[in-house]
Structure 1
Amino acid sequence: MSTGAEDGTTSDHTPDGHGSRQQRSFFKELPVLIGIALILALLIKTFLVQAFSIPSNSMQNTLQVGDRVLVDKLTPWFGSEPERGEIVVFHDPGGWLNEAPVPQPSGVGGAIQTVLSGIGLMPSASEQDLIKRVIAVGGDRVQCKRGGPVEVNGKPLDEKYLFPGNTPCDDKPFGPVEVPVGKMWVMGDHRQDSLDSRYHQKLDNGMIPTEQVVGRALVVAWPVTRWSALPVPDTFDQKGLAAKAVSSAPAVAGVAGAVPLVLWRRSRRRRAAQSTVGQQPGAGAERVPGG
């Protein structure tokens, strides 16, 4: 019986065989596969979901230092505005982050960080973002007297999410404040360690333009032992809280199919608010690295 060497054939396992050709083909395609993966990661970060790292105590105990939260960036593209009780990431409107310019990374390490931050695998050194809870939105009247609760449109909030031992506003009472349309009033859950709207009333009365919102924080994704959803507290669903019927529904009917969970929950809260409006008319800013 002849062997491969005798009859002129070659084995698939020889350096010149089919296996070697497959290996070479794989290495030729590898850069293309990596490029596609990077493009997909960039698109996801830009339009869908982005991870942000929590650098401070201002949102304790809801968010801890070192937590990484996933932020929904899709719904704002369709005109959906922030709602009361949501935790949102927003750009510094100016004057909230009174710090020296962040030094930009240089050299090979800097180039690597720039690439990885661009696709969402590392925080960006240049992003000027913050994270707080939305307390009041356009059309609302919000206030908090020393020793009392925060009131939105005359309704007291039962803020069980506050850091243990904190009071709603004893360190910085405020109001009443009228929130203009297109703006929002935000506060940290750790009231005694949060430089929020209360401390920036000389800058646009402490209001944040909704156009500065990056997105809504959905879940704590890291560390795994801290994994949890970030729902809107029940106190923001109480009857009569809305000052008027909310008119910020997404303009595109098909949006609900694209992001069913977020928009379904928002629609349910809007219907509840609208059904009660006629019955009960309502009367540490810290940079959040994005990755």
Structure 2
Amino acid sequence: MSSSASLPVSRPRRWWPWIVLIGLLLLVVLRGLVVETFSVPSASMSPTLHVGDRIVVWKPGAHDLHRGDLIVFDGDGVFAQSPPAPGGLAGAVRSVGTVLGVRVGETDYVKRVIGLPGDHLQVGSDGVLMVNGAAVDENYLPAGTSSSATAFDIRVPAGRIFVMGDNRIASDDSRNHLGDPGGGTVPEDQVIGTVTWRYWPLGSWGTLR
């Protein structure tokens, strides 16, 4: 009586763990280099942005700024004092977070670009913003609001930008730091990116560019 040789049982290859891993790596790369999300913490950008709005920031936009852009930037050393660098486990966690595009314990601000490097900005007693000698129509401001109740005259230094919140009577911005080093301006290399989209609340979702 003949017996047939037993054949080895083939097991299907499990690709899904690799697919999940690749997907997670792509998300990390996108978050670290391309996009990042933020929650608006205050009313300083009202009526354009409101407390609790969730926004998407386009990080490559940090290298191509225009007047009027909405931006998110790291305010450490500009509008806020830089905290001492943490050591030990906290420092390691912060370093990993930076690599992954997640800032831990830092101060980020959302404001509007008013002046670019080399721009001459002026606001007189009439509250009208002048950029390089021309009046600016800031139609994004609340009705009846002047450009600034604080008069100023500044030439934006090279490599820096001048920013203000749309809620001019309740915004901590470049005007509040005119006497600080840099005249309240923000280094371009501290800009995280431009605000391009609001995805929450659902009733207000849409582009902001």
Verify same fold: TM over 0.5. yes
Does the 8 A contact of 2:38 with 2:57 survive in 1?
A: yes
Unpaired stretches in structure 1, ≥5 consecutive residues: 1-16, 232-291
Q: State how far apart, in whole Å, the 1-side matches of 2:42 and 2:83 are.
A: 17
Which position in structure 2 is the counterpart of 1:81? 64
Which position in structure 1 is the counterpart of 2:77? 94
Mapped pair 1:213 → 2:191? yes
Does the 8 A contact of 1:118 with 1:124 survive in 2?
A: no
What do you get for the CA RMSD once the two structures are aligned? 2.9
Q: Runs (4+) of structure 1 moved beyond 3 Å?
A: 98-101, 115-120
Which position in structure 2 is the counterpart of 1:276? none
Change (3 A) 1:206 1:116: closer
Q: State how far apart, in whole Å, the 1-side matches of 2:35 and 2:119 are.
A: 29
Which position in structure 2 is the counterpart of 1:202? 179
Q: Secondary structure at the match of 1:191?
A: coil
Does the 8 A contact of 1:90 with 1:214 survive in 2?
A: yes
Mapped pair 1:47 → 2:24? no
Q: State how far apart, in whole Å, the 2-side matches of 1:35 and 1:180 are.
A: 45
Q: Deviations over 1:94-127 (max 9, x none)?
A: 14135989xxxx9xxxx9xxx999867xx75423
Q: State how far apart, in whole Å, the 2-side matches of 1:129 and 1:91 are.
A: 5
Task: Give 1:214 deviation, angstroms.
Answer: 0.9
Q: State how far apart, in whole Å, the 2-side matches of 1:208 and 1:82 are.
A: 13
Q: Percent identity?
A: 36
> Would you tell me which structure has more strand in proportion to its own residues?
2
Q: Secondary structure at the match of 1:31?
A: helix
Counterpart AA for 1:180? P
Change (3 A) 1:164 1:124: farther
Which position in structure 1 is the counterpart of 2:121? 142
User: If the length of structure 1 is used for normalisation, what is the TM-score?
Assistant: 0.58
Within 5 A, what are the aligned runs for 1:1-291? 26=14, 29-76=15-62, 80-97=63-80, 124-170=103-149, 172-174=150-152, 176-203=153-180, 204-231=182-209
Task: Give 1:168 deviation, angstroms.
Answer: 1.5
Does the 8 A contact of 2:56 with 2:197 survive in 1?
A: yes
User: If the length of structure 2 is used for normalisation, what is the TM-score?
Assistant: 0.79
Does the 8 A contact of 1:187 with 1:196 survive in 2?
A: yes
Aligned residues: 193
Q: Secondary structure at the match of 2:30?
A: helix
Q: Secondary structure at the match of 1:135?
A: strand
Change (3 A) 1:126 1:34: farther
Counterpart AA for 2:123? C
Unpaired stretches in structure 2, ≥5 consecutive residues: 1-8
Q: Secondary structure at the match of 1:214?
A: strand
Which position in structure 1 is the counterpart of 2:4? none
Does the 8 A contact of 2:70 with 2:194 survive in 1?
A: yes
Q: State how far apart, in whole Å, the 2-side matches of 1:143 and 1:32 are.
A: 57
Task: Give 1:53 deviation, angstroms.
Answer: 1.1
Change (3 A) 1:73 1:35: same
Q: Deviations over 1:129-160 (max 9, x none)?
A: 11110001111100112333111011111111
Which position in structure 2 is the counterpart of 1:248? none
